[in-house]
Amino acid sequence: MPTTILVSACLLGIHCRYDGTAKADVRVKDYLFRKGLIPIPVCPEQLGGLPTPRLPCRFTVGSGREVLAGAGEVVTRDGRTVTQSFLNGARETLEIAGQCGCRLALLKERSPSCGVRQCYRGEVLSTGMGVAAALLSEHGIRVFSEEELAELDRFLDKTGT
């Protein structure tokens, strides 16, 4: 059975970022092709009902894990709370992972949805996951950022995937 992997759609060249652009990463595409992984593109912010383009968003309190625990908040640049949209998008993303049998995810670092190790709290780059990354991780899906292809490679080798 081929292995499926959730991938942030912007990394695959989909124009779903807040400013209507993509963040196509040729290293990611080459890696997926070389390893025979089947990418399942997802944009949690679009899946949560946010428009494209949209205002950029930041955490005011906490990060993804705190949002899941009801103790964090995501706002737009002009201060509008969008926490529920982020939660909705994370849940839709998890649903797609289940439907497609994904146990792995390769996500865009520093996004308030997809960030794996870092995200912005206010204007400050901080340690913490995005909301979708945190939810996937809490459900046993191994999440890696596009900056962690070597770590993903070691994981695939170790698990014989």
Residues 6+ apart with CB under 8 A from 85: 45, 48, 49, 50
* Contact status: 111 vs ligand SF4 (CB under 6 A): yes
Measured from the CB atom, the residue of 16 and 74 that comes closer to ligand SF4 is 16
Q: Please give the sequence-ordered ranges of beta strands (E in DSSP) within the chain, or none if there are none.
A: 4-8, 38-42, 57-61, 73-76, 104-107, 118-121, 124-127, 142-145
Q: How far is the CB of 61 from ligand SF4 (least distance, A)?
A: 20
Measured from the CB atom, the residue of 28 and 37 that comes closer to ligand SF4 is 28
Measured from the CB atom, the residue of 46 and 159 that comes closer to ligand SF4 is 46
Residues that bind ligand SF4 (CB under 6 A): 8-10, 16-17, 43-45, 108, 111, 113-114
